[in-house]
DNA sequence: TGTCATTTTAAACGGGTGTTTGATATTAGA
DNA sequence: TCTAATATCAAACACCCGTTTAAAATGACA
């Protein structure tokens, strides 16, 4: 495996676990078993490394998500919200083929990108992949036309919070679930539990 | 104002904004206008400072939240989920009396505490304030008896995710909302928007 | 095989980190 | 007023940070 990839893999592992400002380049290069200077040689800076890391996932996820959502928009007259959210499942889970724990790692990174580093990554994401948000908004609107775009904006962010937060503590939650309820769960199970929840949340009656 | 309080206030401001690992003691003591060594003198370490900061809020919030939830448990035969979640509003908003932007600051801190610092704060909270979780679980059970304790476990964490994530990016969201929809919002508005969402989420039909 | 671009390396750079020290003020009680 | 505890202070400590440098190793191609 080439140096660039080894750095990305190690960075993914550590960033997902400890956040961006909580992870040093020395930890990354040590785990990747490459020289410290390799990060700056191949990526330019720590910030650029973070961007490249997100890009590796978003370049796969974004088109797949847009296709999946467009499919609903074009072929379903009035989709249910469950259908809309189910459109996320396959694209998200397919990240596991791209990489071990890909789904969970990506969602954890997404979570960190909203709190860490003064939001420069949030800017990067929303400005580079607007198609996702547009398609999602359109699909939700079709499923629940009474929602204003403002309602959708808020409920979309609530939904992101649910997903991101849950995923960034999935390991712990799966542990607890197995101790307290004697169940063996994986990421796919958790995602399937989330869907009815967020679908009902987004579909909640509008209080005015 | 005494040194201890000035440190806590400055730390609250900076930690809420930039996270724990993103904020240095030198920034804190500079804004608090106290000597650098004062933090270690009064609190022992940075970690202890963080704990003291959370304690300042949790000592007020926890009893008030437990009272509010017990009230529902004792005086309502079958509360609605909206009622259960509304029990959080007054205690949370009362943090604004304790401190300017108290509610928002506290919730942002809570958000950071779940991603920063390897979850030691999550441990601290769940081990120091279990009454909240017990009361909440009981109240939800009364409102929706068909939910198994496992269902409640998951949906409670989804709900925490929604709240914590939203609050830790409230500033950004309020910014976007004001740019895109020309609306001026504050924390109280956001909280009121969350309630129907999470109530519907927790109240979602059980897929088996 | 020799040349030249690419990649890797150890070392250093300047600066920031949390924490500790020991001296100096400040305060409160006898 | 003197004393003893409490609090503040500048300075230093040892260490970690992201980045840069210049030399050494490696690779591709003529």
What does chain A look like in DSSP terms, one character per residue?
--HHHHHHHHHHHHHHHH-STT--HHHHHHHHTS-TTHHHHHHSSHHHHHHHHHHHHHHHHHHHHHHHHHHHHHH-SS--HHHHHHHHHHHHHHHHHHSTTHHHHHHHHHHHHHHSGGGHHHHHHHHH-HHHHHHHHHHHHHH-TTS-HHHHHHHHHHHHHHHHHHHHTHHHHHHHHHHHH-----HHHHHHHHHHHHHHHHTPPPP-
> What are the tens digits of pLDDT across the range A14-41?
998 888 888 999 999 999 999 999 999 9
pLDDT for residue B132 is more than 90? no
Specify the range with the lowest mean pLDDT, choosing from A120-129, B23-32, B189-198.
A120-129
pLDDT for residue A117 is more than 60? no
- pLDDT tier at A171 (50, 70, 90 boundaries)? low
How much is the pLDDT for B168?
75
**Protein-covered nucleotides on strand D (Cβ within 7 A):** 7-12, 16-22
How much is the pLDDT for A132?
85
How much is the pLDDT for A119?
61
- pLDDT tier at B76 (50, 70, 90 boundaries)? very high
3-class DSSP state for residue B23?
coil
How much is the pLDDT for B166?
83
- pLDDT tier at B150 (50, 70, 90 boundaries)? confident
Kindly state the average pLDDT of the residues B72-99.
91
Interface of A with B in 27-46 (CB under 8 A): none
Biggest CA–CA distance in chain B, Å, is: 60
- pLDDT tier at A76 (50, 70, 90 boundaries)? very high
Kindly state the average pLDDT of the residues A63-70.
93
Looking at every residue in chain B, the average pLDDT score rounds to 88
Q: How far is CA B184 from CA B99, B107, B175, B177, B194, in A?
A: 21, 20, 9, 8, 17
DSSP assignment of B154-193 equals HHHHHHHHHHHHHHHTHHHHHHHHHHHH-----HHHHHHH
State whether B157 and A166 contact (CB < 8 Å): yes
Kindly state the average pLDDT of the residues A56-73.
92
Percent of chain B with pLDDT over 70: 93
Tokens 């206030």 sit at which residue?
B9
How much is the pLDDT for A121?
67
Looking at every residue in chain A, the average pLDDT score rounds to 88
Q: What are chain A's domains?
A: 53-202 (1.10.357.10)
Q: Å from A16 to nearest chain B CA?
A: 9
Q: Which residues contact B64 (CB under 8 A, 6 or more apart)?
A: B90, B91, B94
Helix (H) or strand (E) holding B208: none
Count helices and strands in chain B by DSSP H and E runs: 12, 0
How much is the pLDDT for B164?
80
Asked if residue B50 keeps its beta carbon closer than 7 A to nucleic acid strand C, the reply is no
Distance (Å, whole) CA B207 – CA B113: 32
Q: How far is CA B51 from CA A67, A68, A111, B30, B167, in A?
A: 46, 45, 23, 20, 20
Written as six digits, the tokens of A59 are 């370049």
| Torsion-angle region of B134 (φ positive above 0: left; ψ -120 to 50: alpha; else: beta) | alpha
pLDDT for residue A4 is more than 80? yes
How much is the pLDDT for B80?
94
Kindly state the average pLDDT of the residues A97-109.
89
How much is the pLDDT for A94?
93
State whether B165 and A166 contact (CB < 8 Å): no
How much is the pLDDT for A31?
96
pLDDT for residue B68 is more than 80? yes
Specify the range with the lowest mean pLDDT, choosing from A142-151, B77-86, B161-170, B175-184.
B175-184
Q: Name the nucleotide nearest B38; use CA and C1'.
A: D8
């Amino acid at each position: 495996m080439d140096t660039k990839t080894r750095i990305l893999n190690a960075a993914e592992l550590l960033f997902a676990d400890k956040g961006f400002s909580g992870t040093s380049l020395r930890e990354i290069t040590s785990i990747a078993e490459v020289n410290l200077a390799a990060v700056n040689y191949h990526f330019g800076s720590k910030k650029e490394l973070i961007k490249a890391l997100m890009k590796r996932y978003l370049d796969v996820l974004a088109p797949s998500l847009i296709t999946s959502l467009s499919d609903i928009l074009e072929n379903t007259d009035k989709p249910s919200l469950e259908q809309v959210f189910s459109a996320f499942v396959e694209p998200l889970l397919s990240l596991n083929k791209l990489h071990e724990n890909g789904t969970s790692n990506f969602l954890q990174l997404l979570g960190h990108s909203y709190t860490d580093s003064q939001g420069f990554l949030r800017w990067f994401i929303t400005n580079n992949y607007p198609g996702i948000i547009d398609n999602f908004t359109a699909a939700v609107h079709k499923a629940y036309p009474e929602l204003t775009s403002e309602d959708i904006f808020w409920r979309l962010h609530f939904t992101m919070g649910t997903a991101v937060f849950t995923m960034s503590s999935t390991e712990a939650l799966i542990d607890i679930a197995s101790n307290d309820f004697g169940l063996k769960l994986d990421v796919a199970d958790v995602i399937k539990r989330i869907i009815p929840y967020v679908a009902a949340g987004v579909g909640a009656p509008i209080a005015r």
